[in-house]
Amino acid sequence: VSDAPLADLLEPFDPPARLLMGPGPINADPRVLRAMSTPLVGQFDPVMTAAMNRVMALYREVFRTTNRATFLVDGTARAGIEAILVSLIEPGDRVLVPVFGRFGQLLVEIAERCRADVHRVDVPWGEVFPLDQLAEAIERVEPMLVATVHGDTSTTMCQPLHDLAAVCDRHGALLYADVTATLGGNAFEMDAWNLDAASAGLQKCLSGPSGSAPVTLSDRAVERITARKQVEAGLREPSDDACASSMAPIASNYFDIAMLLDYWGERRLNHHTEATSMLYAALECARIVLVEGLDAAVERHRLHGAAMTAGVRGLGLDVFGDPAHKMHNVVGVEIPAGLDGDTVRADLLRGFGVEIGTSFGPLHGRLWRIGTMGYNARADAVLTTLSALEEVLRGHGHAMPVGGGVDAATAVLAESG
């Protein structure tokens, strides 16, 4: 309950300009914000259905796939994860989850809610799994599904996926990856790596706001899901009865991918009311990254991530985790002993309008996480963040080389011309 007088509540809301350099969300590209303010059209207006088809085609390029089932789940990235897991998993199915950070734990939690028989394997945070360890677990568990995160922003680690599908295939398992934090900023190849399902969000390397989850599913995954299809009462036609199957129905209406496919497909069966402005945002995000070129976007993230990493080292700070498997777009920075990480973050925000991230679980209080992604994977954003961080750290009595962060980052950027 707010105690504020109504007159205060009726004041216009004018959020300040911030430079969002945490692990996501980042500042949306102004072109995306413009797209979101364009006129709404009706859900079944031919302009809208053409836009939906265009979104599907654009995201096939972004995921590098020919999967027909490539579309948006309305909701944040977690909605995409949940839609895929609840639609694929029948109660009792064995699901293997490799956990190397917080978002692996989220997959465990969602799979458990789907009443899967969940088996997890763990490595210490800051590391990734060697293929052998995953192969041994797959052989032992014989899962229906292996569900893994690609890049876990909680630890900044990127799990190599390119060889995993072959192992899954040998044991009849499907392979799903959460690519929320990697798509568009780190190499990802849906088809060449032979994955069965992947889901993403807009608010990281794709330069958008959160609120839409691009997903893609192989024919094999779609076959399993449509075998469980039940068309909602009120829309059902006599021919739909033939679809009834002995498999358990999908335990969510909103996230039922069988129904979503009928909504995005030729049948255009009504489901939810489309989040039109988010669809415009998703369309623009895909257009922007494809106009730049996916490989060029990945290289831009590599370069600016390397500049930020060199910059924090240039400030005398240590970088967390296995450097060989670090995501391009986020760096974990060890908080120097004696400093209060949250106060430093608050001072950065108050004094410079720069936001960096805190950490979760075992890393809370130990790490800051600094992102260079999407629209913010730019030299000026990197250099501004490093100079602000230097100033704030100096104010907290932390000794470091003057200009060391900006100098080191500039040297990396200069190497690329």
Ligand X SMILES: Cc1ncc(COP(=O)(O)O)c(C=O)c1O
Interface residues with ligand X (CB under 6 A) are: 24, 76-78, 103, 149, 152-153, 178, 180-181, 201, 210
Name the residue nearer to ligand X (CB basis): 204 or 302.
204
Angstrom distance (rounded) from CA 88 to CA 199: 13
Rounded to whole angstroms, how far apart are CA atoms 294 and 196?
Answer: 21
- CB nearer ligand X, residue 60 or residue 78: 78
CB of 81 to ligand X, least distance (A): 6
Q: How far is the CB of 76 from ligand X (least distance, A)?
A: 3
| Dihedral in degrees, nearest 10, Cα atoms 367, 372, 375, 376 | 80
Q: How far is the CB of 150 from ligand X (least distance, A)?
A: 8
* Least distance (Å) between residue 145 CB and ligand X: 17
CB 136 within 8 A of CB 158: no
Closest among 97, 115, 70, 89 to 225, alpha carbons compared: 89
CB atoms within 10 A of CB 378: 13
What count of Cα atoms within 13 Å lies in the side-chain half-sphere of residue 255? 23
Is 352 or 360 the residue whose CB approaches ligand X more closely? 360
DSSP 8-state symbol, 2: -
Reduced to 3 states (helix: H, G, I; strand: E, B; else coil), residue 385 is helix
Beta carbon nearer to ligand X, 181 or 409: 181
Residue whose C-alpha is closest to residue 27's, from 378, 271, 313: 378
User: Any residues with CB less than 8 A from the CB of 360 and at least 6 apart, and which?
Assistant: 102, 154
Q: Is 234 helix (H, G, I), strand (E, B) or coil?
A: coil
Least distance between ligand X and beta carbon 271 (Å) = 20
CB of 265 to ligand X, least distance (A): 25
Task: Give 96 or 149: the residue with its C-beta nearer to ligand X.
Answer: 149
Q: Which is nearer to ligand X, 58 or 81 (CB)?
A: 81
Q: Nearer to ligand X by C-beta: 21 or 135?
A: 21
Tell me how far, at minimum, the Cβ of 152 lies from ligand X, in Å.
Answer: 6
Q: Which residue, among 53, 50, 49, 69, has the nearest Cα to 199 in the 3D structure?
A: 69
